[in-house]
Amino acid sequence: MIQYLQALKFFLYSLVILTFSSNILAQNRSFDGYGNNLEHPEWGAVGTNQQNLAPKMFADGVSEPAGIDRPNPRFISNTIFNQDGLLEDVLILSDYAFVWGQFIDHDITLVGDNHQEMMTIEIPKGDPYFDPFATGDAIIPIPRNVYDENTGTSPSNPREYPTQITAFIDASNVYGSSNVVANWLRTFKDGKLKMSIGNLLPYNTTTGEKIDPIDPSAPFMAMATPFPKYFVAGDIRANENILLTTMHTMFAREHNRLCDDFKKENPTMSDEELYQKARKTVGALLQNIVYYEWLPSMGLHLGLYKKYDEDLNPGIFNEFSAAAYRYGHTVINSKIVRMNNDGELMPSIHLKDAFFNPNIIVETGGIDPFLIGMGTQVEQDFDCKMIHDLRNFLFGAPGQGGMDLASINIQRGRERGLADYNTIRQSLGMPKLVNFSELSEDPWFNQIFESVYRNINDVDPWVGFLAESHMDNALFGETVMNIMFKQFRALRDGDRFYFENDPAFTKEEIAEIRKTTLKDIIMRNTGVKVIQDNVFLMAPHQITGISNKEESTIELAVYPNPVTNNLYVNMSVPAGGDVTIQITDVKGVVVERLVEKADIGMNTFEFNLDSELPAGIYLITLVMENRVGHRRIYKN
pLDDT of residue 198: 95
- Give the C-alpha distances (Å, rounded to integers) separating 127 from 122, 139, 385, 408, 594: 11, 11, 18, 16, 51
Task: Assign 301 to helix, strand or coil.
Answer: coil
Domain 541-635 coded CATH 3.40.30.10:
no
Q: Are 622 and 579 in contact (CB under 8 A)?
A: yes
Q: Are 24 and 278 in contact (CB under 8 A)?
A: no
Q: Are 331 and 382 in contact (CB under 8 A)?
A: yes
Domain boundaries, the chain: 541-635
Please give the Cα distance from 348 to 137 (Å, whole number): 36
pLDDT of residue 260: 98
Q: What is the pTM of this model?
A: 0.84
pLDDT of residue 593: 81
Residue 219 neighbours by CB distance under 10 Å: 19
pLDDT of residue 587: 55
pLDDT of residue 396: 46
Task: Assign 120 to helix, strand or coil.
Answer: coil
Please give the Cα distance from 313 to 355 (Å, whole number): 35
pLDDT in tens, 505-523: 999 999 999 999 999 999 9
Q: Are 283 and 169 in contact (CB under 8 A)?
A: yes
pLDDT of residue 108: 98
Q: Please classify residue 501 by burial: count the beta carbons closer than 10 Å to its beta carbon, then call 0-12 exposed, 13-18 middle and 19+ buried.
A: middle
CB contact set of 511 (below 8 Å; sequence gap of 6+): none
Q: Are 49 and 161 in contact (CB under 8 A)?
A: yes
Q: Are 24 and 159 in contact (CB under 8 A)?
A: no
Q: What is the largest CA-CA distance in the chain?
A: 101
Q: Looking at this protein, which amino acid is placed at residue 514?
A: R
**Phi and psi for 482 in degrees, rounded to 5?**
-60, -45
pLDDT of residue 187: 98
Q: Are 630 and 584 in contact (CB under 8 A)?
A: no
Which runs of consecutive H residues, i.e. helices, occur in 290-358? 295-297, 318-322
Please give the Cα distance from 444 to 464 (Å, whole number): 15
Residues of the chain short of pLDDT 50, as ranges, are 1-25, 395-396, 399-401, 545-551
Compute the C-alpha angle 513/515/518, nearest 5°. 85
Sign of CA dihedral 211, 217, 221, 223: positive
pLDDT of residue 552: 53
pLDDT in tens, 326-383: 988 888 888 898 988 888 888 888 887 888 888 899 988 899 999 999 998 889 888 9
CA nearest 47: which of 319, 315, 323?
A: 315
pLDDT of residue 17: 34
DSSP letter assigned to residue 558 = E
pLDDT of residue 1: 42
pLDDT of residue 361: 93
